[in-house]
Amino acid sequence: MDTPAANVIETMNDELVVKADEINKPEEVKQTTQEIKKNSKRDIINRIFEITNKYNFEITETEQQLQRKTRKNLLEILAVYVERSVENKIKSQQNNIPPDCQNTDFVNQLPFLKVCHGFFCSLVEKGFNSGASYLEYSYELKNYAKTCNGSHLIDQCLLDIAADFGPELIDIISNSYYRLLFIHATSIMSCMKYIDKDVMKSPRFNMDPVNPI
């Protein structure tokens, strides 16, 4: 059976635990919930990292290095990134490449990547339609290649895939010999047509140009 003295001691212990929590808690809460003052060094640093992440800009300074800089220097760094972001938006309007992809190594190769993708889509469309016709299915892919190439997500996807392959892909797609080989190969595939031998045996294809029937 608990004595009154024991109950008093337990109550005092609980109060001490609560007070200890209250003593340690305010500093942590102030650090995590305190609002960052606008245009302060912390606010400028956050804006620098925000804009570099948004537009995929390379930043060489770490957060600790930025904190050692003066507010004036931080504003100068921020101004440079803002100017570059505006330039990327202008370029995006000219070449239809997303602003956050303007700084990748594959931007100059994007037109060729789109040609490769368009040719692949054409092969899929023609292959499906030929197979469906041979199997006498009542389905066809209509405007599949055009629809795929017209998607706004194509540029971003192609650049992301190219980035996964790395510099090796740039060496291949920037090589003029490989480009020329691709042009000839795709042209052959695009111009190849099926010839019906029964139609070619028709008299109108076998008329003697000197002594016509």
The domain spans of the chain are: 22-100, 104-200
Residue (of 179, 26, 32, 59) closest to 111 by Cα position: 179
What is the amino acid identity at position 71? Answer: R
Angle between helical axes of 110-134 and 176-191 (0-180°, round to 10): 20
Alpha carbons 125 and 147: distance in angstroms, whole number: 11
Which pLDDT value is given to residue 106? 65
Alpha carbons 198 and 48: distance in angstroms, whole number: 71
Which pLDDT value is given to residue 143? 84
Token pair listed for 54? 């948004």
Which pLDDT value is given to residue 133? 82
Which pLDDT value is given to residue 34? 56
Q: What is the mean pLDDT of each run of 10 residues along the chain (213 residues)?
A: 54 52 48 68 90 85 89 90 88 72 70 83 86 84 83 77 74 79 80 67 56 53
Q: What number of CA atoms fall less than 13 Å from residue 147's CA on the CB side? A: 6
Which pLDDT value is given to residue 202? 57
Contacts of 96 (CB under 8 A, 6+ apart): 155
